Amino acid sequence: MSQEYRTILLCVFTVFITSLVLGVEKSQPDEECADLNNTTWQEYRQGRDKLQVQYLLLTRRNLDCAEAFTQESLTSTQRTSYFNISRPTKVIIHGYRALGSKPSWVKELAWSLLRAQDVNVVVVDWVYGASFAYNLVVENYKEVAVQISVLINQMQKNGCKLETFHFIGVSLGAHVAGFVGTLFEGKIGRITGLDPAGPMFKGADTFDRLDSSDAQFVDAIHTDSDYFGISIPVGHVDFFLNGGQDQTGCSRSRFASILIYFPVYGYVICDHMRALHVYMSALNGSCPLIGIPCSSYEAFQKGNCVDCGVLNGSCPSIGLSENSGITISPLPIEQKVYLLTSSKSPFCAQHILLQLEVSQLDKSAEVEVTLRTESLKKEKRVTLKTDTTVFRTVLTHPLPLCEIRTIELKNTGARFYRQGDIHVKSVCVSEIPANRHDVPLCVNNFHIRRGASWSHDYVQVCDYS
């Protein structure tokens, strides 16, 4: 197996040297800012012989002017490069580029990373190899990974440690990062997959896709697992946002999966790109994005998972904390964690567990629950069936539970086959993740008539100390 790697490495090393030689006459880093390259269909058809992978370097000292990063940046005697060997390195890898255009979000992601940490940010530009026919691009991704590994090898020789590398791969870029990780036998520090690509990868062997053996810690954010993203967990911890398929504020398109090979691609990737935007928002650190471990989204929505007990009490959060903030050892593998988000940056939402216990019903019923703060209200419809008397659901609120002033219940079943009066034994709201010290807010024993509404004011204060 390692013999096989070596052969691939050798072959592609030749390609890499060739592209280096061809790239040498490029502008000097300190004279002109480097940028990702774009490609056109014509250029693409003319020269399919090399992938034209290039690298850009951004640091806190050259935020506005990327440096073209090559092996010479490390070895040159003048040491003009902004690269600092003593600092950790973040490597950004973009994904499929349907139209050959360069990704527009690269600088924003780099800046978010640099705001959070003083690191080297290396951007892998493989737009040329990532453009046009998706199936051909999938053929290229491993070769790109091998080229990256040649550079990492060189960086290692110059004193960079593998465990200080953190790869951040978007979509197909996540699998590129995964294959780099495979080549280094899982010794890279961390890989973060932002909605790792699904088409042609879901059924793939772990060798061919991102998985938890690719780095010391692998985290992934899933936002479009029904179309462009992968539906299976691929890391130590996998965050499934709003179930991982459809995101709030993204309009649904039934045609998305059919249109993957067509230019319309650009318009239907809202769900897919949400992972990136949520990640950048988390890097900004304005509010915590915490996931709750659970076996499925359905179980999570039913309120079956309310704390991080299976992770020894530490809930994972999206962002740069070590191991996503998990302290359990050994690390979990393919731990699915769920969270609900709001539709706009910074995307955070408070998770509230609503539990309603009623006396046995003769007919099914529908109850609309409203939680009000001073200025906001949030509704949730709960369907009550006759086969059970305890109903649990998770809802989100922009403000924490302690800000909620009033709860309202309305028996909305106006039609004759619905339950008339509902006897509520208790209605309780509590925070998720559940805190050992918090007692749920409960109201016991009351009736709600059909069409009429019932409300209760809470007396509580927030302790933000």
Ligand X SMILES: *[C@@H]1O[C@H](CO)[C@@H](O)[C@H](O)[C@H]1NC(C)=O
Q: Decide: residue 389, CB within 10 A, 0-12 exposed, 13-18 middle, 19+ buried.
A: middle
The residue assigned the tokens 């080549």 is 183
When asked if residue 345 is in the footprint of ligand X (CB under 6 A), the reply is yes
When asked if residue 465 is in the footprint of ligand X (CB under 6 A), the reply is no
Nearer of residues 132 and 391 to ligand X, judged by Cβ: 132
Which range in 84-92, 348-356, 435-443, 444-452 contacts ligand X by CB under 6 A?
A: 84-92
| Interstrand relation of 165-170 and 190-194 (parallel, antiparallel or unpaired) | parallel
Site for ligand X (CB under 6 A): which residue of 19, 33, 38, 402?
Answer: 38
- Give the whole-angstrom CA distance, residue 440 versus residue 445: 16
- Give the whole-angstrom CA distance, residue 209 versus residue 196: 9
DSSP structure class, residue 346: T
Whether 397 is catalytic is no
Q: Tell me which residues in 271-330 interact with ligand X (CB under 6 A).
A: 280-281, 284, 312, 328-329
Whether 171 is catalytic is yes
Question: C-alpha angle 74/78/80, rounded to 5°?
Answer: 65
| Paired tokens of 81 | 């490069």
- Give the whole-angstrom CA distance, residue 266 versus residue 112: 24
CB of 85: closest distance to ligand X in angstroms?
7
User: Count of residues binding ligand X (CB under 6 A)?
Assistant: 18
When asked if residue 86 is in the footprint of ligand X (CB under 6 A), the reply is yes
| 387 labelled ligand-binding | no
CB of 201: closest distance to ligand X in angstroms?
27
| Paired tokens of 220 | 């992934």
| 211 labelled ligand-binding | yes
| Paired tokens of 97 | 């580029």
The residue assigned the tokens 């960079």 is 160
When asked if residue 101 is in the footprint of ligand X (CB under 6 A), the reply is yes
Site for ligand X (CB under 6 A): which residue of 33, 63, 65, 84?
Answer: 84
Whether 226 is catalytic is no
CB of 271: closest distance to ligand X in angstroms?
17
CB of 329: closest distance to ligand X in angstroms?
4
When asked if residue 43 is in the footprint of ligand X (CB under 6 A), the reply is yes
Nearer of residues 39 and 89 to ligand X, judged by Cβ: 39
| 35 labelled ligand-binding | no
Nearer of residues 242 and 411 to ligand X, judged by Cβ: 242
- Out of 166, 236, 272, 351, pick the active-site residue: 272
CB of 299: closest distance to ligand X in angstroms?
23
Q: What end-to-end distance do the CA atoms of the chain give, in Å? A: 56
**Minimal CA–CA distance to 106: which of 89, 128, 90?**
90
Which DSSP string corresponds to 121-147?
EEEEE-HHHHBS-HHHHHHHHHHHHHH
- Out of 73, 81, 149, 195, pick the active-site residue: 195
Nearer of residues 38 and 153 to ligand X, judged by Cβ: 38
Nearer of residues 44 and 446 to ligand X, judged by Cβ: 44
Which DSSP string corresponds to 423-451?
EEEEEEEEEES--TTPPPEEEEEEEE-BT
| Strand, coil or helix: 221 | strand
Sheet holding 441-448, edge to edge: 390-397, 350-358, 422-432, 441-448
Nearer of residues 113 and 401 to ligand X, judged by Cβ: 113
When asked if residue 445 is in the footprint of ligand X (CB under 6 A), the reply is no
DSSP structure class, residue 153: H
Q: Which residues are catalytic?
A: 171, 195, 272
- Given the rule CB under 6 A, which residues bind ligand X? 26, 37-39, 43, 54, 84, 86-87, 101, 280-281, 284, 312, 328-329, 345-346
